Amino acid sequence: MVYLIAGAISLIVSGLMIKIGPRLGWIDIPDGSALKAHARAAIPLGGVGVFLAVHTAMAVNASFDWGLFIASALVFVVGLVDDRFQLSPKVRVIFELAAALLLLGFADLPLEITNPIHVLVVVVLVVGAANAVNLFDGLDGLVGTAGAVAGVGLALLAAGRSIDGSFGWILASALVGFLVFNWHEARVFLGDNGAYSVGVFLVYGLLTVSPTATAADILVALAVLGVFGLDMVSTLLRRRLAGVPMFLGDRSHLYDQLNDRGVAVGVIAVIVGAVQVGFVAVALGIDSIANPWLITGIWVVIGIMAVGLVRAAGLLSTTQIVDV
């Protein structure tokens, strides 16, 4: 029942945002620029529904976590402001760092804010995940599909480790509800508010399914960032090859180039979901391996093969890079 509540809240609030957004000034209108791929106006407030759905469902499930609420609320509000007024990248990163510290200091996690290694791990994960999800949110249905699969992956990983996996199911349900209005042609986007929130949710989820906080557990759980991580790595490589700063935007992401080659937006979302299923399957398959160095080696090999394949396919093009 709690999962139905999460999906219903996300669906209903997303629908309400379609009506309310334009009156509040939160509306993304296509302007012909290189960075806007959508053909009709949409509301960048889908994160409102996902945010409320996750926390409400957790409260109903008696698993509400004030630390997660505070950390995700911070990036959620920053995202709302950024969607309306365009904050600088440095300001956004500062608030992401603050959210990481709040998550570490107040959430029910197996890590300690007094441990510098734990601080580094959470800061890297939160800043990396928030920006990876935001970078990936470029076509209809992508983040919702990949995020929902990630949520299911978290739940299955938790089941294999004999711990509570309800958070993964709640996150997946909230994103499925959002997808109803985000599938092509989307009427609502996650917006930065939703992308940053989902990034924090994913980090919280992978840390909660790693109760011993060992390197092996966390490395395996990182599979939930599978396609998000792949896109971020390819983006860094592409912009490095082009000799441009990281914070310049472009329409040359892997999904953009598939779309440019004639692949329909809906099909791309399905492909993304299938690739994410593959990452989750790999994680579940190697979860019984106890050696963190072996796990690291496996991920390095997978990463090299993935980057090699996308480069061989010509998907590391450095075209269409523009200043944002």
What integer is the mean pLDDT of 20-48?
A: 72
CA dihedral 230, 131, 58, 27 (to 10 degrees): -120
Each residue's pLDDT tens digit, 181-207? 999 888 899 999 999 999 999 999 999
DSSP summary character for residue 186: P
The pLDDT value given to residue 85? 87
The predicted-structure confidence for 103-120, as pLDDT tens digits, reads as follows 999 999 988 888 899 999
Tell which wins on pLDDT, 265 or 3.
3
pLDDT for res 41 = 66
Q: How far apart are CA 77 and CA 91, in angstroms?
A: 13
% of the chain exceeding 70 in pLDDT: 81
Gap between the Cα atoms of 138 and 255, Å rounded:
8
* CA 133 distance to own-chain centroid: 3
| Poorest-pLDDT segment among 104-108, 119-123, 250-254, 305-309 | 305-309
pTM value?
0.89
Kindly report the number of other CB atoms within 10 A of residue 3's CB atom: 18
